[in-house]
Amino acid sequence: MKIKNVTANSRRKAFEVRTAQGTYLFPYAKLEQPPSSKDRLREVRVDKELASEGFTYRLESGREGTVHIDHVLEYNEDPKLLRDLFLYKLTVEVQRRLRKSVLSKREIIRRLATSPAQFYRLLDQTNYGKSVGQLLALLRILDCEVTLFVRHGVEEKPAILRAI
């Protein structure tokens, strides 16, 4: 995702990051080198060296920092990014379980009722076109049980959803 514009909002103590999908806030407190009353923000710009997928800020002391759009989206809990992170984690777990499995890849492909090409697309952690259901089916063939915890805040007991 490309950043179209970034501005500093000193009243909110946050950057306003504008993309084609919307405007997101990213607080100064989340920066590695946040501005302070003694070291104020001097400049902020979209970083072309990051293909406009990040921005760089400079403080009066000359210190610089860079923020990638993924950090902004993660802070704002962008649903698409959270889905992609979930798919990535599931895929890495599938890869780990496959290395330990006694089943041959041919047998797994047969039990999935899919093609070898589709099977290898499922194993590609950079492929976000696959569904969670496909990965859950693959984990089930690998004799794994997946448990998903859903809770509101840290005080509530989680509701457990089991995928078998």
Share of the chain above pLDDT 70, in %: 92
17 token code pair: 């990051």
Q: Which of 81-85, 130-134, 147-151 has the lowest mean pLDDT?
A: 147-151
| Nearest Cα residue to 157 out of 149, 127, 106, 47 | 149
In the chain, the amino acid numbered 121 is: R
How far is 57 from 33, CA to CA, in rounded Å? Answer: 10
Instruction: Give the gyration radius of the chain's Cα atoms.
Output: 21
What digits encode the pLDDT tens for the residues 117-127? 999 999 999 89
Q: Of 44, 32, 41, 39, whose CA–CA distance to 10 is shortest? A: 41
Q: How confident is the model at residue 85 (pLDDT cuts 50, 70, 90)?
A: confident
The overall average pLDDT reported for the chain is 90
Tell me the sheet residues that pair with 56. 45, 66
Break the chain into its structural domains and give their ranges. 3-75, 79-163
Q: What is the DSSP letter of 157?
A: P
- pLDDT confidence bin for 164, thresholds 50/70/90: very low
Q: Which residues contact 59 (CB under 8 A, 6 or more apart)?
A: 33, 35, 39, 40, 41, 42
The whole-number pLDDT of residue 76 equals 93
